Amino acid sequence: MKKAKRILAGVVAMASVFSVTACASKDDSSQNIKDMNTDQKATADDAFESAKTEYPDLVDVELENKTIKWMAHYDINPTEGKVMPPDIYLFQEKYGGTIEYVRTTWDNRYTDLANAVMSGDAPDFFPADDMDTFPKGAIMAMFQPIDDYVALDSELWADSKKSSDAFVFNGKHYVAVIETTPNYVCVYNTNTIEEANLDDPAELFAKGEWNLDIFAEMCREFTNSSEDKYGLDGYWYQNAIMQTCGLPLVTLEDGKLVSNIEDAAIEKIENYMYDLQKDSVVYPRYKNEWATRDNGTTGAGIASGLTLFVPVGLWALEDVPEKTAQFGDVSSGEVMFVPMPDDTDNEPYYVSARVNGYNICTNAPNPEGVAVYLNCKQIANQSEEVNQITVDQLMNEYGWTEEMVEMRQTVYDMAAANPVFEFYQGISGEVDAQMLEITQATMMSDPEKQQTWAVIRDEKKTGLKYLLDEANSNIKTEPTA
């Protein structure tokens, strides 16, 4: 089966192109299948038959246990009014599989998981998309290695093997990555760029000239506080800029968590951020109860020409025109985006990234069934026909231009090739709290609270090391509540 460059990843994106007029609950999967468009079913069927020819050992199997238990704060089964994703269709239609939803909440999900594992009633799999399951899930033995079940060295998994290799603990893989996705893009309005007599970032990117120096120069030139104009706004610009250096604040080396807070690359980018903030190029959230412009509306100010750039996930543009109007008229070409700028001191061009992926729980009753379902996701993810339907939706329903679709693919490709995965979200609440202070310190929009990197580094490095040493000392070989 020919490998396609994926345009969209994950259940939400894939589900959106396989829409149905009415879907039954998970307990009535036959009705869901019946309601799928015939052409859409044929597309998924063709992809499966091709995979069956290319990967018979992975695809042509019979499940002894056809039920897999999914624990999360959301159900991946199509419920009433939702859609039938092609991966679930294949799992049901080709293997007779069903997905049992084990309900939890965002706040209680890890407590519920620990209790279920310890009580002998473990679920089978758990979402890794929020980037907070690893490494703590491996350290506390809440998740087991996937190597015995998911064929990461096979051709089917070849495109995502590199990213799965980032989630290794004690020589074993803990996250089955379906696809690597970019955390942020830099969104702008082309009319605003033209009216400000600035070079178009997409054209600069195409020429290899979209870098941190140009980015800072444009932000400074555009900013005029007397006219309420600012180069940057949003909730994510600190992390988006910081991770252009190619190095996360916390890494996992030889099975141990390591702080990079004293690394020269981190110091360089943090000093850059400090200087940028010192010139007041960021919308002063501290004057607006710490909300972004228009009381926190993502992208507010872009269409009106008051904001130059908003670093944000692509999700902000993957919506109907009435939901993206704050950025401008998408269909007319007003709205565009590029990757975050390149740190020219680094090679290659790094992209802050996350994954669409899954963990297999410790003591999972049916890890073999999970592996079969994940193979179905890979099959759907690699179908050119499915991806073309997705492109059609982006352009026909969301108004995207060809340039936007092409840039999206480019950013996805870059994220897969040279991802920067930040691991501090997956350690502990205490580490999260420390990191919030560290990552925001040099770019606090309140001038009285902005700190130099030297000050915040020296203030926090000992405490951070203590927390990481504590996490390292708590490495378990058996699950604990």
Mean pLDDT by 10 residues, the chain (481 residues): 37 34 35 58 91 94 97 89 81 97 96 95 96 88 95 94 90 94 97 97 97 98 97 96 94 86 96 96 94 93 97 95 96 97 88 96 98 96 79 90 96 94 87 91 92 96 93 66 47
CA atoms within 13 Å, Cβ hemisphere of 442: 25
**How much is the pLDDT for 80?**
65
- At 250, which amino acid appears? V
Contacts of 365 (CB under 8 A, 6+ apart): 65, 69, 122, 124
Contacts of 429 (CB under 8 A, 6+ apart): none
Give CA–CA dist 404/388, Å, rounded: 15
Reduced to 3 states (helix: H, G, I; strand: E, B; else coil), residue 61 is coil
Reduced to 3 states (helix: H, G, I; strand: E, B; else coil), residue 294 is helix
Total residues belonging to the chain: 481
Structure tokens at 307: 């904001």
**How much is the pLDDT for 345?**
79
Please, what's the b/e burial string for 229-239 (b: 16 or more CB within 10 A of its CB; e: otherwise)? bbbbbbbebbb
Give CA–CA dist 191/105, Å, rounded: 43
Give CA–CA dist 119/32, Å, rounded: 34
Residue with tokens 């190597």: 147
- Residue 300, judged by CB atoms within 10 A of its CB (0-12, 13-18, 19+), counts as buried
- pTM, entire model: 0.86
Structure tokens at 433: 């709290």
**How much is the pLDDT for 8?**
37
Name the residue ranges covered by the structural domains of the chain: 10-179+355-417, 185-350+431-473
- CB-CB contact of 316 with 298 (8 Å): yes
**How much is the pLDDT for 25?**
34
CB count, 10 Å around CB of 195? 10
Angstrom CA distances, 367 to 73, 164, 307, 358, 360, stand at: 20, 17, 49, 12, 7
Contacts of 4 (CB under 8 A, 6+ apart): 382, 383, 384, 387
CATH topology for 185-350+431-473 is: D-Maltodextrin-Binding Protein; domain 2 (3.40.190)
Contacts of 292 (CB under 8 A, 6+ apart): 233, 234, 235, 283, 285, 298, 300
What does residue 229 show for φ and ψ, rounded to 5 degrees?
Answer: -105, 130
Give CA–CA dist 66/56, Å, rounded: 19
Nearest to 8 by CA among 435, 428, 387: 387
- Cα torsion 420, 422, 423, 428 to 10°: value is -170
Give CA–CA dist 44/22, Å, rounded: 19
Give CA–CA dist 356/178, Å, rounded: 6
Reduced to 3 states (helix: H, G, I; strand: E, B; else coil), residue 336 is strand
Give CA–CA dist 466/179, Å, rounded: 34
| Same fold yes or no, 10-179+355-417 and 185-350+431-473 | yes
For the domain 10-179+355-417, what is the CATH code? 3.40.190.10
